[in-house]
Structure 1
Amino acid sequence: MTETLENRTAPGKRQRREGFWPTLIARFLKHKLAVLGLVVLILLGLLAIFAPLLAPYTFDGQDASIIGQPQPPSAAHWMGTDQLGRDAFTRVLYGARISLMVGLFSALLATFLGTLVGALSGYYRGWTDTVLMRITDVVLCIPLLPLIILLSGILRPSVALLIAIVGSLSWMGTARLVRSQFLSLREREFVEASRALGGGDNRVMFRHILPNALGPIIVSTTLSVGGTIMLESALSFLGLGVQPPTPTWGNLLNYASQWLTAAPWLAVFPGLMILITVLAVNFLGDGLRDAFDPRN
């Protein structure tokens, strides 16, 4: 009888010892494509960070002997060269630094703004909710890409300014998501208990409700990284993003569009990098969504 009781209680004890995060990690690791996406993103991040050490040339270095005509991939230039004699592999590596930086930090800025607006709206409700959500609706009514194109055309932004523009105009979806989470969680027993113990609004919002809403927020942030990378690439392709000679995947595609027939490799490699990165981000977001889903 004693053994039976021990056998019955042991799994429960093991389950309690596992905790939330080990269970979450175990769920995530079951999603093979998500794990692959995470590995790919880590590798791309390392390549971007250590680009000055890995690249065989400087991003604006020119080989005077081949100026005038793009050269195909070779042992000396793995991805070929452009018409100015610049190594395409080096420029793709350096382009990863800008594209990934804009994508990541724009998504983080949008998440911060959206979380703040959504938390205030969902927690206080009433006129605060009405005002903030009407502002959100107004911004949502404005086409995002034409507005960013207009601002970029006027300001000719640096990397930091481009991050600020994209991030400050991409927070609305996160705001609505966080608002719905706060509307649901503010009525839970642990929130009432915190208020009964004298917890102020800031403590209740950011110490009790927000940690319980982190799952959807993390998933939303992850998925928005791919969107902001695509947006930055579109702006740079149109010549309204980061300006040459600083390379990004978008302006590399813009330059390569003049040589699609004579030198297609100039477009293939930055295009593949954008495709691989966005796919990896989406796989990662799918895996995180499944891991945070309580039904799993």
Structure 2
Amino acid sequence: MIDATIKLAHLAPPQSYGRRVLRRFLKHKLAVASLAFLFLMAVVIIIGPFVSPYTFDGQDFTLIGSPGPMNAQHWLGTDELGRDVLTRLIYGGRVSLAVGLAGAIIATIAGTLVGALSGFYRGWTDILLMRFTDVMLSIPTLPLVLLLSGLFRPSPPLLVAIVGMLIWMGTARLVRSQFLALREREFVEAARALGAGGARLMFRHILPNAIGPITVAATLAVGSAIMLESALSFLGFGIQPPVPTWGNLLNSASPWLSVAPWLAIPPGLMIFGTVLAVNFLGDGLRDAMEPKE
């Protein structure tokens, strides 16, 4: 019986890398639940404004003056300007998630490029790029972003650029360590012996083998970007009203906390839940792509 089992195991076709990653990821229950939460939230954020009978800046002039309570017409009530809170929450999610995703993409591209050049060429290239990375890491991120946002009007594209260019350092260090390890592997030496140039070695042979850690870093960068954008908007240095974001919704709700807490709780929960879900998703991807066993 044991011999038959061993023979069947040998005859079974080996699973592809993608199937193994998917199987390990599905075992991570928190990551799967987080992915489902993020997918459901994305669907609501995309479809919600088209279904809602209100616009994000539409006002009911009979309700101006103080926040309105939750009722059948306004499920999360209205703010002091007579605007529907649920519609603004959904639309604000569009802006906050768009800034977070775009900022994370910029950070991942910049960090990957710096880390790849540093780890592959080493020498003076490595010294200069890593010392620049260390300098960027030593600068407090939030005060610098506040300064830049105060000097320039924080339109969404500018805010995306600011956020992306201030959270790339962790990705750069991670990619550098991967390139330092992979550049000495046999398949890279074989490609070099066949005449492959530096750019081809980096982006055709080494980078695909480092895509797992880069994917995990990009996932975690989304949470960092959302938190940074929310903090800026809450402090009044991010995207300005009437365009809603989760951060400036919290800012607008702060004077009414004692009489209308329902204005502050939903955006706070959305920021908390989204960042937590993204971090759980990143943990699940890391465990699936880099198993310890």
TMscore range, shorter length: over 0.9
Residue 55 of structure 1 contacts residue 93 of structure 1 at CA under 8 Å; is this kept in 2? no
Deviation at 1:13, TM superposition (A): 4.7
Relative to structure 1, the CA distance from residue 53 to residue 14 in structure 2 (aligned partners, 3 Å threshold; closer, same or farther) is farther
- When normalised by structure 2's length, the TM-score is 0.96
Superposition pairs for residues 117-266 of structure 1, below 5 Å?
117-266=114-263
Q: Which residue of 1 aligns with 2:27?
A: 30
- Of residues 40, 60, 65, the one that matches 1:68 is 65
Alpha-carbon separation, structure 2, partners of 1:208 and 1:50: 41
Task: State the one-letter code of the partner of 1:14.
Answer: A
Superposed displacement of residue 278, structure 1: 0.8
Alignment-derived partner of residue 12 in structure 2:
14
Aligned length: 293
Structure 1 residues 243-276: Cα deviation after superposition (integer angstroms, max 9, x where no partner): 1100000000000001001111000111111111
Q: Which of 281, 288, 291 in structure 1 is aligned with 2:288?
A: 291
Q: Give yes or no for contact 1:47–1:54 (8 Å, CA) kept in 2.
A: no
Shift of residue 207, structure 1, vs aligned partner: 1.2
Counterpart CA distance in 1 for 2:41 and 2:183 is: 40
- Unmatched runs of 5 consecutive residues or more in structure 2: none
For the aligned residue pairs, the C-alpha RMSD in angstroms reads 1.5
2-side partners of 1:68 and 1:13: how far apart? 75
- Offset of residue 140 of structure 1: 1.2
More deviation, 46-55/273-282: 46-55
Equivalent residue number for residue 115 of structure 1: 112
The answer to whether the Cα contact below 8 Å between 1:37 and 1:281 also exists between their aligned partners in 2 is yes
SS of residue in 2 equivalent to 1:33: helix
User: For residues 251 and 181 of structure 2, what CA distance do their matches in structure 1 show?
Assistant: 46
Runs (4 or more) in structure 1 with deviation over 4 Å come to none
Identity %: 65
Structure 1 partner of 2:95: 98
Deviations 1:56-114 (A, max 9, x none): 31000011221112111111101010011100000000000000011111011001000
Q: Is the 8 A contact 1:102 1:228 kept in 2?
A: yes
Distance 1:104 1:15 in 2: 38
Question: 2:265 maps to which residue?
Answer: 268
Q: Distance in 1 between matches of 2:13 and 2:256?
A: 60
Q: 1:13 to 1:95 in 2, by over 3 A?
A: farther
Letter of the 1:103 counterpart: G
Question: Match of 2:104, as an amino acid?
Answer: A
SS at match of 1:72: coil
Q: Is the 8 A contact 1:28 1:288 kept in 2?
A: yes
Structure 2 letter corresponding to 1:183: L
**2-side partners of 1:295 and 1:154: how far apart?**
47
**In the alignment, residue 101 of structure 1 is paired with which amino acid?**
A
CA offset at residue 15 of structure 1? 4.8
Give 5+ residue unaligned stretches, structure 1.
none
> By how many angstroms is 1:292 displaced?
1.2
Cα separation, 2, equivalents of 1:30 and 1:258: 44
Q: Please report the TM-score for the alignment, with normalisation by the length of structure 1.
A: 0.95
Kept after mapping to 2: 8 A contact 1:92/1:249? yes
